[in-house]
Chain A
Amino acid sequence: AQRVTQPEKLLSVFKGAPVELKCNYSYSGSPELFWYVQYSRQRLQLLLRHISRESIKGFTADLNKGETSFHLKKPFAQEEDSAMYYCALSGPRGAQKLVFGQGTRLTINP
Protein backbone atom coordinates (compact mmCIF):
# COMPACT_ATOMS: atom_id res chain seq x y z
CA ALA A 1 0.00 0.00 0.00
CA GLN A 2 1.11 3.53 -0.67
CA ARG A 3 1.35 5.58 2.46
CA VAL A 4 3.10 8.72 3.66
CA THR A 5 3.54 9.38 7.36
CA GLN A 6 4.42 12.71 8.90
CA PRO A 7 4.63 11.99 12.61
CA GLU A 8 4.56 15.60 13.79
CA LYS A 9 1.34 17.57 13.33
CA LEU A 10 2.91 20.64 14.91
CA LEU A 11 6.52 21.77 15.10
CA SER A 12 7.73 24.95 16.70
CA VAL A 13 11.31 26.22 16.61
CA PHE A 14 13.08 29.52 17.21
CA LYS A 15 14.39 31.70 14.42
CA GLY A 16 17.92 30.69 13.52
CA ALA A 17 17.55 27.17 14.87
CA PRO A 18 17.79 24.10 12.64
CA VAL A 19 14.57 22.56 11.36
CA GLU A 20 13.80 18.98 10.44
CA LEU A 21 10.36 17.85 9.30
CA LYS A 22 10.07 14.11 9.24
CA CYS A 23 8.52 12.04 6.47
CA ASN A 24 8.41 8.28 6.09
CA TYR A 25 6.80 6.41 3.25
CA SER A 26 5.77 2.97 2.19
CA TYR A 27 5.69 2.05 -1.49
CA SER A 28 6.53 -1.10 -3.41
CA GLY A 29 8.77 0.16 -6.15
CA SER A 30 10.61 3.39 -6.81
CA PRO A 31 8.44 6.35 -5.96
CA GLU A 32 9.02 9.99 -6.59
CA LEU A 33 9.03 12.05 -3.40
CA PHE A 34 7.97 15.66 -2.98
CA TRP A 35 7.57 18.34 -0.37
CA TYR A 36 4.70 20.77 -0.84
CA VAL A 37 4.21 23.93 1.21
CA GLN A 38 1.15 26.04 1.92
CA TYR A 39 1.78 29.51 3.31
CA SER A 40 -1.02 31.36 5.02
CA ARG A 41 -3.79 32.30 2.56
CA GLN A 42 -1.82 30.95 -0.41
CA ARG A 43 -2.29 27.91 -2.56
CA LEU A 44 -0.40 24.68 -2.11
CA GLN A 45 2.86 24.79 -4.05
CA LEU A 46 5.76 22.51 -4.74
CA LEU A 47 8.81 23.18 -2.57
CA LEU A 48 11.13 20.51 -3.85
CA ARG A 49 11.29 17.03 -5.37
CA HIS A 50 13.93 14.41 -4.75
CA ILE A 51 14.89 13.86 -8.39
CA SER A 52 15.95 17.49 -8.83
CA ARG A 53 18.34 17.34 -5.89
CA GLU A 54 18.17 21.09 -5.43
CA SER A 55 17.89 23.38 -2.47
CA ILE A 56 14.88 25.70 -2.39
CA LYS A 57 14.70 28.56 0.12
CA GLY A 58 17.51 26.86 2.03
CA PHE A 59 15.58 23.59 2.38
CA THR A 60 16.99 20.23 1.34
CA ALA A 61 15.63 16.70 1.51
CA ASP A 62 17.49 13.47 0.99
CA LEU A 63 15.77 10.29 -0.05
CA ASN A 64 16.90 7.41 2.17
CA LYS A 65 15.62 4.24 0.55
CA GLY A 66 16.92 2.05 3.34
CA GLU A 67 14.93 3.93 5.96
CA THR A 68 12.16 4.87 3.50
CA SER A 69 12.43 8.46 4.63
CA PHE A 70 12.48 11.86 2.98
CA HIS A 71 13.03 14.31 5.82
CA LEU A 72 13.04 18.04 5.06
CA LYS A 73 15.84 20.06 6.62
CA LYS A 74 16.98 23.65 6.92
CA PRO A 75 20.00 24.69 8.98
CA PHE A 76 18.73 28.12 10.06
CA ALA A 77 14.98 28.71 10.25
CA GLN A 78 13.47 32.04 9.24
CA GLU A 79 10.14 33.50 10.31
CA GLU A 80 8.84 33.35 6.74
CA ASP A 81 9.23 29.56 6.83
CA SER A 82 6.14 29.32 9.02
CA ALA A 83 3.65 27.30 6.97
CA MET A 84 2.00 23.92 6.51
CA TYR A 85 4.31 21.35 4.95
CA TYR A 86 3.14 18.19 3.18
CA CYS A 87 5.27 15.28 2.11
CA ALA A 88 3.93 13.37 -0.89
CA LEU A 89 4.80 10.51 -3.18
CA SER A 90 3.80 9.35 -6.62
CA GLY A 91 4.66 6.43 -8.85
CA PRO A 92 7.59 6.53 -11.28
CA ARG A 93 7.73 9.32 -13.83
CA GLY A 94 4.34 9.84 -15.42
CA ALA A 95 1.05 11.38 -14.50
CA GLN A 96 -0.18 9.58 -11.41
CA LYS A 97 -1.91 10.64 -8.26
CA LEU A 98 -0.02 12.09 -5.35
CA VAL A 99 -0.39 10.46 -1.96
CA PHE A 100 0.04 13.03 0.79
CA GLY A 101 0.98 12.84 4.40
CA GLN A 102 -1.17 14.52 7.04
CA GLY A 103 1.01 17.59 7.05
CA THR A 104 3.15 19.36 9.65
CA ARG A 105 2.41 22.90 10.73
CA LEU A 106 5.74 24.63 11.25
CA THR A 107 5.88 27.75 13.39
CA ILE A 108 9.05 29.80 13.62
CA ASN A 109 9.16 31.88 16.78
CA PRO A 110 11.06 35.19 16.77
Chain B
Amino acid sequence: GAGVSQSPSNKVTEKGKDVELRCDPISGHTALYWYRQSLGQGLEFLIYFQGNSAPDKSGLPSDRFSAERTGGSVSTLTIQRTQQEDSAVYLCASSLLTDTEAFFGQGTRLTVV
Protein backbone atom coordinates (compact mmCIF):
# COMPACT_ATOMS: atom_id res chain seq x y z
CA GLY B 1 0.00 0.00 0.00
CA ALA B 2 0.91 3.63 -0.19
CA GLY B 3 1.20 4.19 3.54
CA VAL B 4 1.28 2.50 6.92
CA SER B 5 -2.00 0.74 7.57
CA GLN B 6 -3.37 -0.16 10.99
CA SER B 7 -6.36 -2.25 11.95
CA PRO B 8 -8.80 -2.01 13.49
CA SER B 9 -9.33 1.75 13.50
CA ASN B 10 -11.31 1.50 16.70
CA LYS B 11 -11.57 -1.23 19.28
CA VAL B 12 -13.78 -1.34 22.34
CA THR B 13 -13.06 -4.20 24.70
CA GLU B 14 -14.05 -5.28 28.16
CA LYS B 15 -11.58 -5.10 30.98
CA GLY B 16 -9.70 -8.36 31.28
CA LYS B 17 -9.98 -9.36 27.63
CA ASP B 18 -7.01 -9.74 25.28
CA VAL B 19 -6.67 -7.57 22.17
CA GLU B 20 -4.52 -7.71 19.07
CA LEU B 21 -3.62 -4.64 17.05
CA ARG B 22 -2.21 -4.99 13.56
CA CYS B 23 0.24 -2.86 11.58
CA ASP B 24 1.13 -3.15 7.89
CA PRO B 25 4.23 -1.03 7.24
CA ILE B 26 5.24 0.58 3.99
CA SER B 27 6.64 -2.06 1.66
CA GLY B 28 10.42 -2.28 1.94
CA HIS B 29 10.64 -0.50 5.27
CA THR B 30 12.72 -2.63 7.61
CA ALA B 31 12.19 -0.62 10.79
CA LEU B 32 8.83 -0.64 12.55
CA TYR B 33 7.81 1.19 15.69
CA TRP B 34 4.88 1.13 18.08
CA TYR B 35 3.90 4.19 20.09
CA ARG B 36 1.06 4.95 22.45
CA GLN B 37 -0.71 8.30 22.51
CA SER B 38 -2.61 8.82 25.72
CA LEU B 39 -4.62 11.86 26.66
CA GLY B 40 -2.22 14.34 28.18
CA GLN B 41 0.74 11.96 27.88
CA GLY B 42 2.09 12.73 24.45
CA LEU B 43 3.67 10.00 22.37
CA GLU B 44 5.16 7.16 24.37
CA PHE B 45 7.58 4.73 22.70
CA LEU B 46 6.68 1.08 23.17
CA ILE B 47 8.86 -1.14 20.98
CA TYR B 48 10.97 -1.04 17.85
CA PHE B 49 11.66 -3.77 15.29
CA GLN B 50 14.55 -4.03 12.89
CA GLY B 51 13.50 -6.78 10.53
CA ASN B 52 11.87 -9.41 12.71
CA SER B 53 13.93 -8.76 15.81
CA ALA B 54 13.18 -6.22 18.53
CA PRO B 55 16.41 -4.55 19.71
CA ASP B 56 14.50 -2.16 21.93
CA LYS B 57 11.52 -3.28 24.01
CA SER B 58 12.20 -0.76 26.73
CA GLY B 59 8.92 1.04 26.38
CA LEU B 60 6.56 -1.87 26.95
CA PRO B 61 4.74 -0.85 30.15
CA SER B 62 4.22 -4.33 31.57
CA ASP B 63 4.48 -8.02 30.74
CA ARG B 64 0.87 -7.87 29.56
CA PHE B 65 2.18 -6.16 26.43
CA SER B 66 3.96 -8.08 23.69
CA ALA B 67 4.64 -7.61 20.01
CA GLU B 68 5.89 -9.68 17.14
CA ARG B 69 6.79 -9.14 13.55
CA THR B 70 6.85 -11.83 10.92
CA GLY B 71 8.39 -11.90 7.47
CA GLY B 72 9.90 -8.50 8.06
CA SER B 73 6.52 -7.00 7.39
CA VAL B 74 3.30 -7.16 9.41
CA SER B 75 3.47 -6.59 13.15
CA THR B 76 0.98 -7.42 15.87
CA LEU B 77 0.82 -5.74 19.26
CA THR B 78 -0.96 -7.87 21.83
CA ILE B 79 -2.31 -6.62 25.13
CA GLN B 80 -3.40 -9.34 27.54
CA ARG B 81 -5.90 -8.86 30.35
CA THR B 82 -6.61 -5.29 29.31
CA GLN B 83 -7.00 -2.60 31.96
CA GLN B 84 -8.75 0.75 31.72
CA GLU B 85 -5.40 2.54 31.76
CA ASP B 86 -4.56 0.79 28.49
CA SER B 87 -7.11 2.99 26.74
CA ALA B 88 -5.20 5.10 24.23
CA VAL B 89 -4.42 5.52 20.56
CA TYR B 90 -1.79 3.02 19.47
CA LEU B 91 0.33 4.30 16.61
CA CYS B 92 2.55 2.31 14.31
CA ALA B 93 5.30 3.81 12.16
CA SER B 94 7.84 2.47 9.71
CA SER B 95 11.07 3.74 8.21
CA LEU B 96 13.87 2.63 5.94
CA LEU B 97 16.88 1.21 7.74
CA THR B 98 19.17 4.06 6.78
CA ASP B 99 16.67 6.87 6.97
CA THR B 100 15.08 7.88 10.23
CA GLU B 101 12.05 9.61 8.72
CA ALA B 102 9.20 7.65 10.24
CA PHE B 103 5.85 7.39 8.48
CA PHE B 104 2.90 6.90 10.78
CA GLY B 105 -0.33 4.99 10.45
CA GLN B 106 -3.67 6.44 11.37
CA GLY B 107 -3.67 4.63 14.69
CA THR B 108 -5.96 2.24 16.54
CA ARG B 109 -8.11 3.83 19.21
CA LEU B 110 -8.47 1.32 22.03
CA THR B 111 -11.12 1.81 24.67
CA VAL B 112 -11.26 -0.54 27.62
CA VAL B 113 -14.60 -0.49 29.42
Using a CB–CB distance below 8 Å, which chain A residues touch chain B?
A: 32, 34, 43-46, 49, 86, 88, 90, 93-103
The answer for the CA separation of A98 and B59 in the assembled complex, in Å, is: 12
A65: min CB distance to chain B, Å: 18
**5 pairs, A vs B, C-beta closer than 8 Å:** A44-B91, A44-B104, A86-B43, A94-B100, A95-B31
A43 vs B96: C-alpha distance in the bound complex, in angstroms? 19
Closest chain-A Cβ to B29's Cβ sits at a distance in Å of 9
Cα separation A96 to B93 with both chains bound (whole Å): 12
A43-B106, A100-B43 known; A95+B101 contact, CB < 8 A = no
Interface presence of B42 (CB below 8 A):
yes
Whole-angstrom CA separation of A98 from B42 in the bound complex: 13
Given known contacts A86-B42, A86-B43, A103-B43, A98 and B102 CB-to-CB distance under 8 angstroms: yes
**A97 lies within 8 A of B42 (CB):** no
Asked if residues A46 and B42 are in contact (CB atoms below 8 Å), the reply is: no
CB pair A95–B104 under 8 Å, yes or no, is: no
B94 and chain A: residue at smallest CB distance? A95
A97-B97 contact, Cβ under 8 Å, with A43-B104, A43-B105, A44-B104:
no
> Given A45-B104, A95-B30, A95-B50: A101 and B42 within 8 A (CB)?
yes
Interfacial chain B residues near A93, Cβ < 8 Å: 98-100
* A98 nearest CB neighbor, chain B only: B102
Choose among B35, B43, B98, B103 the residue that contacts A94 (Cβ–Cβ < 8 A): B98
Given contacts A43-B105, A43-B106, A44-B91, contact A95 B100 (CB under 8 A): yes
Who on chain A is nearest to B106 by CB? A43
| B91 proximity list for chain A (CB < 8 A) | 44
With A32-B100, A43-B107, A90-B100 as given contacts, are A96 and B42 in contact (CB-CB < 8 Å)? no
